[in-house]
Amino acid sequence: MIWQTSAARKMSNLLTGLLKIDKIEIGGSLNSPATLDKYSDVDMEIFLSDNTPIDIEAVLAAASKQFAPVFGYEVISHSRKDAIRVCLENGMRFDLIFRYNCDKIPQAEDATLSGKVNAIANQFWFYAAMILVKLGRKDNLIAAHLTLEMCQLIIVIQMLVRDSSKGTNIHRFGDGERVPILHHLPYATKSPLLDCATANEILALLFLAASQMDEALHKLELGHDGKADKLNLLAKHFVPADEGGMD
């Protein structure tokens, strides 16, 4: 069932009620309906009336209330635009580009451990959803690339924790730290999901990375809920057994 048309209309109404907007333009597959499928996202370009930075958390909270809770997202910021790429727990995905009428008012970044970890975790789970989409479309190369990036993000979390505990991000020597994701990689290909298909090898590593991220975030005690189970539900939506080789 194609959901994007009605979702674009609802999102336009939602944003118009939240922000000062000159116009909204729809892009991507919505302009070529024949190409729409369940993997398509909703591409929207929102032209703002001023240069006041949007409240990204408020936009995401409103989207969660309108559609479904946020599973993962990433924010790409520039002087005159903010791009929010978000996947919801029901599988809906939006690519929202907010354009300012001139250079936006500078904002201080959240440099706390919590702020940095939140940004990485949200990007991690967005990558997870994108991997499922790529597998659904049989693009194993990009899916594999993103899965390995997820493994790196877990290690970045470990580095941030070390920086915080030592009060510096300059380390001449390390402590011979364990790197759990590396310890598990040799066993990823022994997952019961596998039937020797590349897609299943990627899925096995994806679920391993998700489990490792849940464990790493739990140890930080910053209030992150586990998402590995929700990822499994998304996998059933995006990569059914007849398309991705899942059991």
Q: What is the pLDDT of residues 169-211, one digit of tens each?
A: 888 888 788 787 777 676 555 544 434 367 777 888 899 999 9
Give residue-wise pLDDT tens across range 19-76: 999 999 999 989 988 889 889 999 999 999 999 999 999 999 999 999 999 999 999 9
For residue 219, the model assigns a pLDDT of: 84
Q: Which residues lie closer than 8 Å to 209 by C-beta, 6 or more apart?
A: 124, 128, 147, 150, 151, 154, 181
For residue 170, the model assigns a pLDDT of: 83
Average pLDDT of the segment spanning 136-149:
92
Comparing C-alpha atoms, which of 134, 161, 163, 166 is closest to residue 244?
A: 134
195: left (phi over 0), alpha (psi -120 to 50) or beta: alpha
Fold of the 4-99 domain: Beta Polymerase; domain 2 (3.30.460)
Tracing tokens 């370009």 back to the chain, one arrives at 45
Average pLDDT of the segment spanning 75-85:
95
For residue 43, the model assigns a pLDDT of: 97
Instruction: Among 2-6, 106-110, 172-176, name the one with the lowest average pLDDT.
Output: 172-176
Domain positions in the chain: 4-99, 113-169+179-240
- Under the banding of pLDDT at 50, 70 and 90, the label for residue 240 is low
Is the confidence at residue 246, as pLDDT, over 60?
no
Q: Which residues lie closer than 8 Å to 233 by C-beta, 6 or more apart?
A: 89
Cα dihedral 88, 90, 93, 96 sign: negative
As to burial, measured by CB atoms within 10 angstroms (0-12 exposed, 13-18 middle, 19+ buried), residue 229 is exposed
Is the confidence at residue 220, as pLDDT, over 90?
no
Contact criterion met (CB below 8 Å) for 8 and 30 = yes
For residue 181, the model assigns a pLDDT of: 79
For residue 189, the model assigns a pLDDT of: 54
For residue 175, the model assigns a pLDDT of: 79
**Which of the pair, 163 or 67, is modelled with greater confidence?**
67
C-alpha span between 168 and 202 (Å, rounded): 35
Cα dihedral 163, 179, 73, 134 sign: positive
Q: Which residues lie closer than 8 Å to 97 by C-beta, 6 or more apart?
A: 43, 44, 45, 46, 81, 82, 83
Give CA angle at 37 (12, 191), nearest 5°. 115
For residue 241, the model assigns a pLDDT of: 54
The bridge status of strand 70-77 relative to strand 81-88 is antiparallel
Instruction: Write phi, then psi, for 220 (nearest 5 degrees).
Output: -75, -20
C-alpha span between 100 and 118 (Å, rounded): 25
Comparing C-alpha atoms, which of 76, 24, 91, 78 is closest to residue 240?
A: 91
Query: Token pair for residue 34?
Result: 């024949």
- Under the banding of pLDDT at 50, 70 and 90, the label for residue 245 is very low
Is the confidence at residue 104, as pLDDT, over 90?
yes
Mean pLDDT of the chain: 88
For residue 188, the model assigns a pLDDT of: 55
Is the confidence at residue 1, as pLDDT, over 60?
no
**pLDDT above 70 as % of the chain:** 91
For residue 50, the model assigns a pLDDT of: 93
